[in-house]
Amino acid sequence: MSLIRGNSILPAAREPIELHTADGLKLIGELALPESGTPKATLICLHPLPTHGGMMDSHVFRKAAWRLPALAGLAVLRFNTRGTTSVQGTSEGVFDGGVSERFDVAAAIEYAEFHDLPNRWLVGWSFGTDLTLKYGCDPAIEGAVLLSPPLRTTTEEEMKVWARDGKPLTALIPEFDDYLRPDEARVRFAAIPQAEVVAMPGAKHLWVGDAENVLNEIVKRVAPGVATPLSSTWDGPMAAGDASAYADRTVAAFDPL
């Protein structure tokens, strides 16, 4: 029995993928599936702000892809939005401040739907939460989990779209977030009656030291039949990722609002 560490990679069927947007771009991504059986749910990950270090390998999403196929039976789809670089490569196009990225979100949802990935959930982090709220209320999506939503560019009307649709929406709000803390989040998300606002004690915007708590909260919503907290040990083969590959981009820095 081995302890699961920050760079531990548990068994999964992993493959590089390409997403193709309606405006003609090719985006770099990866799909991680359980080694056997049908996934219980699918996470489509929308990363933090790419101009300040956000990418498909931002640490919470990297750990999700390295652990959740084995520990929770989930499929994890990660990708770099337009103009974003990670060790897997650079997606075509240029960052557009969350405007043309609507095509990127649509391409990821379309890929998951076309490949029959079941029970599809969006998981947005910071910038990715605005993309989720603006463009993610799609018939092919079951619901969404938001990590550290700043509500920077999401409009009142876009919030109303989620309210009218009724899809489940959970917002994980760090106690010491730089932009939106639990009390204000409850006020802002009151526009979406079904929204669940979860205060995360002691956490900060970047979730450093709190990735395991985040993964547990995600699994509770998307695969409630899976026991949580997830195991911190693994009895079987386990590889180790090269943490140095992410040394300058493990977490992102964000401009003030």
What string of H, E and C letters represents the secondary structure of 31-98?
A: EEECCCCCCCEEEEEECCCHHHCCCCCCHHHHHHHHHHHHHHCEEEEEECCCCCEECCEECCCCCCCC
Predicted local distance difference test score (pLDDT) of residue 201 = 97
Q: Which bin fits 206, alpha (ψ -120 to 50), beta or left (φ > 0)? A: alpha
User: Could you tell me which of 178, 140, 166, 161 has the C-alpha nearest to residue 256?
Assistant: 178
Indicate the burial class of 3 (C-beta count within 10 angstroms; 0-12, 13-18, 19 or more): exposed
Residues 197 and 186 sit within 8 Å (Cβ to Cβ): yes
Partner residues linked to 78 by β-bridges: 30, 45
Cα four-point dihedral sign 203, 206, 209, 211: positive
Predicted local distance difference test score (pLDDT) of residue 257 = 33
| Integer Cα distance of 120 and 208 in angstroms | 26
Q: Give the chain's residues under pLDDT 70.
A: 243-257
Predicted local distance difference test score (pLDDT) of residue 1 = 87
What is the pTM for the complete model shown?
Answer: 0.95
| Integer Cα distance of 47 and 64 in angstroms | 12
Q: Where are the alpha helices (DSSP H) in 75-155?
A: 101-114, 127-135
Query: The domain 16-224 belongs to what CATH superfamily?
Result: Alpha/Beta hydrolase fold, catalytic domain (3.40.50.1820)
Predicted local distance difference test score (pLDDT) of residue 9 = 97
Q: Which residue's structure tokens are 């391409």?
A: 107
Domain extents in the chain: 16-224
Predicted local distance difference test score (pLDDT) of residue 247 = 57
Fill in the amino acid letter for 181: R
Print burial letters for 140-155: b (CB count within 10 Å at least 16), e (below 16): ebebbbbbbbbbbebe
